[in-house]
Chain A
């Protein structure tokens, strides 16, 4: 259960079309991440699937059933909101049990399911508290608990981690990943953070202005970005994009090389050279921002964590020849 098909769906708010005709197929049990810059229509797309917004045209199918006109509660999906949307006047227990209570499930079964969810999510000690008495991460878990007790066909997450601090976010990322492994239920996850997308997804859908730019596994997107937008969006630090004579040499309008595919070395024995500007020491790696190469204003290079280069030093750069991405005048990848 949990196979979702979007068929030529569009969405307009008044005159403005936020989602132009869009097709997408989400397989059963997949962890799909919608990623894209803010305002590109990720939330809108998720809300269309949830049924919280009506599509302007097109069809949505869940497990082969046309649900385009089915109200949200009967689509068998559960959603975790960015603000968590917990019910502030109910205890954690009541929050989690709410969907079961609405479904008219008997008390004993409700209790059993709530307790099972609480165990999975480490919430057993907090069941009688109000949401206001919990930390951000705990609230997040309650919201997830409320979703899993329903045993939905698919989970929808809308930027669920954006209100958490960095350490918690990392932890929750792992927990959601574990949850997906153990439940094996379809999950659709919206984020603007490409790191979340890369680390969690089975399949990434890159969106820009409502248009799907590319669909693929994290490594496919990393290895073969279909266009300049995806190339610039996926990967951290971002890919170095060079135009001009250097690109001409490769029969392309633009070429891209990721920082991790450039070797720092002897300035006299390398094809490119420049001066080191700011270098970011992360311990495991050092990101060098190299100026004055004559290729682009700055070239970012990932070097060894203990590289002895300092601000103002000259450095030589060697790109891996088979890791150079080529793009044509329209910004599309040249195979």
Chain B
């Protein structure tokens, strides 16, 4: 690819893919932008192409907006904490030579292959159901009154469900990172008088910092838009309405496309702020 001719040939051949990708991304974005400045409520036949920032104002000033932002951040934060902590623990365990290692690893990865809708349904009906759920049987076995998960602790329940789905991803990334640690470093630390916990803290954890950064960044991007799990379980009630869900309700339940689009744009902007913020605090690990 060193000559001018080959460079321009490459550009020419990449053009269709690039054009397609740009169209794919730009068309919806531009349409959303366009609708966000319009009063567009199809069922009422209302369409006024330019109403300025009215939609934005209404979306941001409604009380549900700030609740949704808080809920979103609580959920994403909770899921990140759970997946990273348990991911590290599981990765440490899986790194040890155990009997039936291959099978165990596949079992650990399995939840990742279950569709979000399906796993949410399974958790809702088989695990967390107050009457027939496995967890309520466990509660009753110990003589406690069954816990109605999705009503009494709805946010926690959704955090648990989504963490269960994302734990394999975190585990897998962290496991490969642990496997790349030079065993002699651990032995050197052992000879230097570091007991297991200190070896973890001073050697393993710093070695994992880059992988943890990657897990946090990737998961945040996906978790900001979790939808199916909320739709299937609580439908956004009991304080589980995230920003994504709020946008959905505005567009499809209230049939207010303009308002929903404005919400979508705000969500994009907020997601970018979060991403930049994350990059700032953890991104310095990436170039070490």
Chain A positions within 8 Å of B, measured between CB atoms, are 50, 52, 71-73, 77-79, 81-83, 85-89, 98-99, 102-103, 146, 150
Chain B min CB distance to A131 (Å): 11
Count of chain B residues with a beta carbon within 8 Å of a chain A beta carbon: 19
Tell which of B29-37, B70-78, B190-198 binds the partner. Answer: B190-198
B190 pairs with A98, CB closer than 8 A: no
Q: Which residues of A contact B189 (CB under 8 A)?
A: 87, 98
Chain A residues closer than 8 Å to B203, beta-carbon distance: 87
Q: Across the interface, do B187 and A81 meet the contact criterion of CB distance under 8 Å? A: yes
- Bound together, the chains give a CA A77 to CA B203 distance in angstroms of 20
Q: Determine the chain A residues whose CB is within 8 A of the CB of B195 once the complex forms.
A: 73
Contact A52:B187 (CB < 8 A) given known A87-B202, A87-B203, A89-B207:
yes
Chosen A-B contacts, 12 in total, with CB atoms closer than 8 Å, are: A71-B190, A72-B187, A73-B191, A79-B188, A81-B188, A83-B182, A85-B182, A85-B184, A87-B188, A87-B206, A89-B209, A98-B192
Residues 119-159 of chain B: 1 if any A CB is under 8 Å from the residue's CB, otherwise 0? 00000000000000000000000000000000000000000
Residues of chain A lying within 8 A (CB to CB) of residue B188: 79, 81, 85, 87, 146
Shortest distance from the beta carbon of A313 to any chain B beta carbon, whole Å: 52
Residues of B within 8 A of A71 (CB): 190
Among B191, B194, B198, B209, the residue within 8 A (CB) of A50 is B191
Closest to A150 in B: B192
Residues on A with C-beta less than 8 A from B5 are none
Which residues of A have CB within 8 Å of B198?
Answer: 102
Question: A52, A82, A89, A146: which contacts B192 (Cβ < 8 A)?
Answer: A146
B155-199 interface code vs A (CB 8 A; 1 in, 0 out): 000000000000000000000000000101101111111110010
Looking at the complex, which one of B185, B187, B193, B209 makes contact with A87 (CB distance below 8 Å)? Answer: B185
Hey, which chain A residues are within 8 Å of B202, CB to CB? 87, 98
New contact pairs (9) apart from A52-B187, A73-B192, A79-B191, CB-CB < 8 Å: A52-B190, A78-B191, A85-B187, A87-B189, A87-B206, A98-B189, A98-B194, A98-B202, A99-B192
Q: Find the B residue at minimum CB distance from A73.
A: B193
Nearest CB of B to A301, in Å: 43
Residue positions of B touching A, CB distance < 8 A: 182, 184-185, 187-195, 198, 202-203, 206-207, 209, 288
Contacts of B193 in A (CB 8 A): 73, 99, 102-103
- Smallest CB-CB separation from B205: which chain A residue? A89
Q: Which residues of B contact A86 (CB under 8 A)?
A: 185
CB neighbours (8 Å) of B209 from chain A are: 89
Closest to A99 in B: B192
Taking the closest CB of chain B, its distance from the CB of A215, in whole angstroms, is: 26
CB distance from A8 to the nearest CB of B (A): 25
Determine the distance from Cα of A99 to Cα of B189 in the docked complex, in whole angstroms.
8
Q: How far is the CA of A97 from the CA of B243 in the complex (A)?
A: 50
Q: Is the CB of B194 within 8 A of A102?
A: yes
Docked Cα-Cα span, A73 to B182, in Å, equals: 19
Chain A: which residue is nearest B209 at the CB level?
A: A89
A83 to B186, alpha carbons, bound, how many Å?
Answer: 12
CA distance in complex: A146, B194 (Å): 14
Closest Cβ of chain B to A183, distance in Å, is 18
Q: Is the CB of A102 within 8 A of B192?
A: yes
Task: Write the chain A residue with the least CB distance to B190.
Answer: A72
> Which residues of A sit under 8 angstroms from B194, Cβ to Cβ?
73, 98, 102
Q: With a CB–CB cut-off of 8 A, which chain B residues contact A102?
A: 192-194, 198
A146 to B185, CA, bound (A): 13
Indicate whether A81 sits within 8 Å of B288 (C-beta atoms), given known contacts A99-B192, A102-B198, A103-B193. Answer: no
- Given contact pairs A50-B191, A146-B192, A81 touches B184 in the complex (Cβ within 8 A): yes
A144 CB to nearest chain B CB (Å): 12
Residue numbers in B under 8 Å from A50 (CB-CB): 191
Cα distance A85–B185 in the bound complex, in angstroms: 5
CA distance A56 to B219 in the complex (A): 47
Q: How far is the CB of B209 from chain A (nearest CB, A)?
A: 8
Bound-complex Cα distance A146 to B184 (A): 14
Q: A78 to nearest B CB, angstroms?
A: 7
Tell me which of A52, A89, A103 contacts B288 (CB under 8 A).
Answer: A89
For A73, give its contact among B184, B190, B207 (CB under 8 Å).
B190
Q: How far is the CA of A83 from the CA of B188 in the complex (A)?
A: 11
By the criterion CB–CB under 8 Å, are A83 and B190 in contact? no
- The residues of B that contact A73 with a CB separation of less than 8 Å are 190-195
What is the CB-to-nearest-CB distance from B137 to chain A, in angstroms, rounded to a whole number?
45
Partner of B191 from A72, A83, A89, A103 at Cβ < 8 Å: A72
Chain A nearest CB, measured from B213 CB (Å): 13
Nearest A residue (CB) for B192: A99
Q: Which of B191, B195, B198, B209 has the most CB of A within 10 A?
A: B191
Complex Cα spacing A18 to B187, Å: 21
A82–B191 CA distance with the chains assembled, in angstroms: 15
Q: How far is the CB of A165 from chain B (nearest CB, A)?
A: 21
Q: Output the nearest chain B residue to A83 by Cβ-Cβ distance.
A: B184
Closest chain-B Cβ to A60's Cβ sits at a distance in Å of 15
A-side contacts of B206, CB under 8 Å: 87, 89
